[in-house]
Amino acid sequence: MSASEYSFDVSVENFQQYVLDNSAHVPVLVDFWAPWCGPCQSLMPMLTKLAEQYAGGFLLAKVNIDEQPELAQQFGVRSVPTVKLVRHGKVADEFTGALPESQIRTFIDQYVERESDRQMPGILEAFASGQEKAALAQLQQLRSLEPDNLQLILCEVAFLQRMQDYPAAEALLSGLPANFATDSEVIQAKSRLQLAMEAQSAPGIDELLQRLGLDPNDHQARYLLASSYSREEQFEAALENFLELLRRAPDFQDGAARKGMLMVFDLLGGQGELVSSYRRKMFTALH
């Protein structure tokens, strides 16, 4: 091997040992390159740097196609640079051309086992068993090691919401960088948190139903009922009550009914029969 323990040149003779055997333990990126290839000269140093930074999370195997035409032919390489990711002895993914570093990291991260992958099952189990503060502390420590791991951020928001620490959850979501803010899971988390905050001080569903039975124009009760249904993931009931509020009082709390329906749509992923049906009903109610 050359360069380091994480990146090395391979040939037909050592491909089995260095690539296929190693791929049983970690992903192996196989970089097919050539000395005359301009993009190869920019891609290889980047891959080598990432291999060092990931410190064994993946290995980088470099194949000079001029010297190893058999390997290039065996893997169907038609242009360089071509990078193939080998896992458990098989090509699991690939890309061609010199991609930006951010895209390469995203590509690699799909296959690299991180510390969070090892620890999260235990943390989730601890939280579910009632050890909420200890689980949250473990999660926050883990997140400090992987600050760009969006799934850990969303998990912490969910923990805080379950613990009814709404200000902390809201601050965490508000402080996300711009590249995370438009993620569909983040939008869902914001909607879920907002509806939970609306329902936190609400009376029970039975009491709200009783209030509406006495006065169908108790708009505050209907809004709290819809928010409570949302928190309980009874989405159709939530949408029906937001819609009824929209019909009766479209200007209530600056259009809170319409906003509530949009937040439920977010929670449902913005698609599906329920969303389509209530989008049409909302449009009709507004016009």
DSSP-derived secondary structure letter, 129:
T
From residue 38, how far is each of 42, 63, 81 by CA, in Å?
7, 16, 9
Give yes or no for a contact between 3 and 11, defined as CB atoms under 8 angstroms apart: no
Closest to 51 measured CA to CA, from 62, 41, 63, 66 = 62
Residues 277, 255: Cα–Cα separation, whole Å: 20
Report the phi/psi class of residue 215: left, alpha or beta, with left for phi > 0 and alpha for psi in -120 to 50: beta
Q: Strand, helix or coil at 36?
A: coil
Show Cβ contacts of residue 187 under 8 Å, excluding neighbours closer than 6 positions: 266
Show Cβ contacts of residue 246 under 8 Å, excluding neighbours closer than 6 positions: 257, 258, 261, 282, 285, 286
- The single residue of 28, 30, 37, 50 carrying the catalytic annotation is 37
Residues 118, 104: Cα–Cα separation, whole Å: 23
**Is 37 annotated as catalytic?**
yes
**Is 40 annotated as catalytic?**
yes
- The single residue of 40, 44, 142, 224 carrying the catalytic annotation is 40
Q: Which residues are catalytic?
A: 37, 40
